[in-house]
């Protein structure tokens, strides 16, 4: 290895050669290879974290290139799986570390079968069910993880360690995606991702070095120019089912079932215990973003991302124009979760 590779990083007080060795002996799981995940992976690969595991179930699309830093036009043209495109790009950036790309849904089963135990898990997802899964699994395993989310011009991030509150201590159940907005309907600017992942990756490096993480929730609005850390309860709650109850709801609940419909270019997704969908307010939210929006007494139809959705009030949906269940799950969570 070229001796200059990490020379500017080891010069920083508190890192040095011993810190660099700690990083090179560390394993990090990054869940999601979208905007957050690619920024995080880029920073940690360049910093010399010894083993990176990337998991994502989706493919590279043209709408990703505005903010998902590891991808190229060629990746979008070839519709490469994000975990593979990111892995290959990262290998060209740093050939001295191990990079593993998993084209998979980050489920309880996936986490249970990881080939290597991570020291830290980073949230690069775009949905709350997966964040609560990460929370519950990390609590069960005694691992730290770092939450992050961004939408519009805003972002937020928080370190969760054994000593701190977990995400369920603060918000016992996942918020509805429609309450917080998402990148599809509200949009997203790249600097919001850069700001929030700057906090998240700095905290990641600190944790791997054995330094004390920042307490509280980092929030920013990059267009208003506001950056702050809000204080929240800084210890596990006695009322939390995970921290005090020792139960891990996201690990035991069945994931949404995706079934390819035989003989049709369609996948059915039927989540077992999701709250009913208010089709009228969903239709209102999607107006102007999707094509062919049609609401009847029994269902909602629309077309987006090359897929035709038929959604029923109980949350069951038929996705036409896709046959890969992973792709269908990704589209379902993007538009309906
Ligand atoms: Zn908790």
pLDDT in tens, 173-189: 887 656 667 777 788 99
Q: What is the mean pLDDT of residues 90-115?
A: 94
229 CA from centroid of ligand 1 (Å)? 20
The pLDDT, as a whole number, for residue 227 is 98
172 CA from centroid of ligand 1 (Å)? 8
173 CA from centroid of ligand 1 (Å)? 11
pLDDT in tens, 272-291: 667 778 899 999 999 999 99
Q: Please report which confidence band the pLDDT of residue 267 belongs to, taking 50, 70 and 90 as the band edges.
A: confident
Q: Which residue has the higher pLDDT, 258 or 57?
A: 57
316 CA from centroid of ligand 1 (Å)? 30
Specify the 3-state DSSP secondary structure of 112: helix
Burial of 234 (0-12, 13-18, 19+ CB in 10 A): exposed
238 CA from centroid of ligand 1 (Å)? 8
Average pLDDT, the chain: 91
166 CA from centroid of ligand 1 (Å)? 4
Does residue 127 register a pLDDT over 90? no
Q: Three-state secondary structure along 53-71?
A: EEEECCECCHHHCCCCCCC
The pLDDT, as a whole number, for residue 326 is 85
2 CA from centroid of ligand 1 (Å)? 44
The pLDDT, as a whole number, for residue 67 is 96
What is the DSSP secondary-structure string of 228-245?
Answer: EEE----S--TT-TTTTT
Q: What is the mean pLDDT of residues 120-135?
A: 93
Does residue 104 register a pLDDT over 70? yes
Question: Which stretch of 45-54, 199-208, 244-253, 302-311 has the lowest confidence by average pLDDT?
Answer: 244-253
Please state at what angle helix 35-47 crosses helix 190-209, rounded to 10 degrees: 40
46 CA from centroid of ligand 1 (Å)? 33
Question: Which stretch of 33-47, 66-80, 228-242, 252-266 has the lowest confidence by average pLDDT?
Answer: 252-266
171 CA from centroid of ligand 1 (Å)? 9
The pLDDT, as a whole number, for residue 208 is 98
Q: Please report which confidence band the pLDDT of residue 294 belongs to, taking 50, 70 and 90 as the band edges.
A: very high
170 CA from centroid of ligand 1 (Å)? 7
Question: Which stretch of 48-57, 251-260, 318-327 has the lowest confidence by average pLDDT?
Answer: 251-260
Q: Please report which confidence band the pLDDT of residue 329 belongs to, taking 50, 70 and 90 as the band edges.
A: confident
255 CA from centroid of ligand 1 (Å)? 21
What is the DSSP secondary-structure string of 120-180?
Answer: EEEE--S-HHHHHHHHHHHHHHT--EEEEEEEBTEEEEEEE-TTS--HHHH-SSPPPHHHH
Q: What is the mean pLDDT of residues 316-330?
A: 87
What is the percentage of the chain residues whose pLDDT exceeds 90? 69
The pLDDT, as a whole number, for residue 233 is 86
236 CA from centroid of ligand 1 (Å)? 5
Show the domains of the chain with their CATH numbers.
7-251 (3.40.50.720), 254-335 (3.30.310)
144 CA from centroid of ligand 1 (Å)? 13
Question: Which stretch of 69-73, 144-148, 173-177, 235-239 has the lowest confidence by average pLDDT?
Answer: 173-177
Tokens representing residue 174 in the block? 């996942």
Euclidean distance between CA atoms 312 and 318, whole angstroms: 9
Q: Which residue has the higher pLDDT, 191 or 305?
A: 191
50 CA from centroid of ligand 1 (Å)? 30
206 CA from centroid of ligand 1 (Å)? 22
The pLDDT, as a whole number, for residue 257 is 67
Distance, first Cα to last Cα, the chain: 45
148 CA from centroid of ligand 1 (Å)? 17
pLDDT in tens, 15-57: 999 999 999 999 999 999 999 999 999 999 999 999 999 999 8
pLDDT in tens, 129-174: 899 999 999 999 999 999 999 999 999 999 999 999 999 999 988 8
């Amino acid at each position: 290895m070229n001796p200059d590779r990490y020379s500017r990083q080891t010069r920083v007080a508190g890192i040095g050669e011993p810190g660099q060795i700690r990083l090179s002996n560390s394993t990090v799981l990054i869940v999601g290879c979208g905007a957050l995940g690619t920024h995080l992976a880029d920073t940690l690969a360049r910093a010399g974290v010894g083993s990176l595991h990337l998991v994502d179930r989706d493919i590279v699309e043209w709408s990703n290139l505005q903010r998902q830093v590891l991808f190229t036009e060629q990746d979008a043209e070839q519709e490469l799986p994000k975990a593979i495109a990111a892995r290959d790009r990262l290998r060209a950036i740093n050939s001295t570390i191990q990079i593993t790309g998993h084209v998979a849904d980050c489920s309880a089963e996936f986490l249970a079968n990881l080939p290597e135990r991570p020291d830290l898990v980073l949230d690069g997802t775009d949905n709350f069910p997966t964040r609560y899964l990460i929370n519950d699994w990390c609590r069960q395993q005694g691992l730290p993880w770092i939450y992050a989310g961004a939408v519009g011009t805003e972002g937020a991030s928080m370190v969760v360690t054994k000593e701190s509150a977990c995400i369920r201590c603060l918000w016992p159940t996942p918020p509805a995606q429609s309450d917080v907005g998402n990148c599809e309907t509200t949009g997203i600017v790249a600097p919001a991702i850069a700001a929030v992942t700057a906090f998240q990756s700095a905290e990641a490096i600190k944790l791997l070095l054995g330094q004390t993480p920042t307490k509280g929730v980092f929030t920013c609005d990059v267009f208003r120019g506001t950056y702050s850390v809000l204080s929240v309860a800084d210890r596990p709650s006695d009322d939390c089912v995970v921290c005090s109850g020792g139960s891990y709801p996201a690990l035991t609940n069945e994931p949404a079932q995706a079934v390819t419909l035989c003989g049709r270019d369609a996948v059915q997704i039927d989540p077992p215990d999701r709250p009913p969908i208010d089709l009228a307010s969903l239709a209102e939210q999607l107006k102007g973003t999707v094509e062919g929006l049609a609401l009847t007494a029994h269902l909602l139809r629309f077309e987006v991302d090359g897929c035709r959705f038929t959604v029923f009030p109980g949350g069951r949906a038929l996705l036409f124009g896709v046959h890969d269940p992973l792709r269908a799950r990704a589209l379902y969570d993007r538009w309906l979760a």
